[in-house]
Amino acid sequence: MSQSIDRPELSAAEWKLIQDLRALPDEPLRNRVHAALGELLYFFQNPKCQGVGVDGFPCGTPRSSCEDCHQIWEALDKVAERSKKG
């Protein structure tokens, strides 16, 4: 018995992300990337520093300093630079 699969509307960037995740070479690496992406998405969805979020609104209940958030953003910038260098 065959089931139909609903395909949600995804942007080109979303499809590329899915394809890149599926192309990871081994299971331990895939598991680590999935966990890291989950944590990163949680960070973006739940900013908790004392400053202003990326959308221009206050970050919510302060749990950490703005410096903690800035360190994470700087680390992400370094990862982006490194990936551009190949």
Average pLDDT over residues 1-27: 82
pLDDT in tens, 50-69: 566 565 656 655 566 677 77
Q: Are 53 and 59 in contact (CB under 8 A)?
A: yes
Q: Which residue has the higher pLDDT, 25 or 63?
A: 25
The rounded mean pLDDT for the chain is 79
| Structure letter (DSSP) for residue 26 | S
Query: Residue 6 and residue 82: Cα distance in Å, rounded?
Result: 37
What DSSP letter does each residue of 36-86 carry, written as one string?
Answer: HHHHHHHHHHS--BSSB-TTSSB-SS--B-HHHHHHHHHHHHHHHHHHHH-
| Amino acid identity at 66 | C
Name the pTM for this structure: 0.61
For position 43, what pLDDT does the model report? Answer: 80
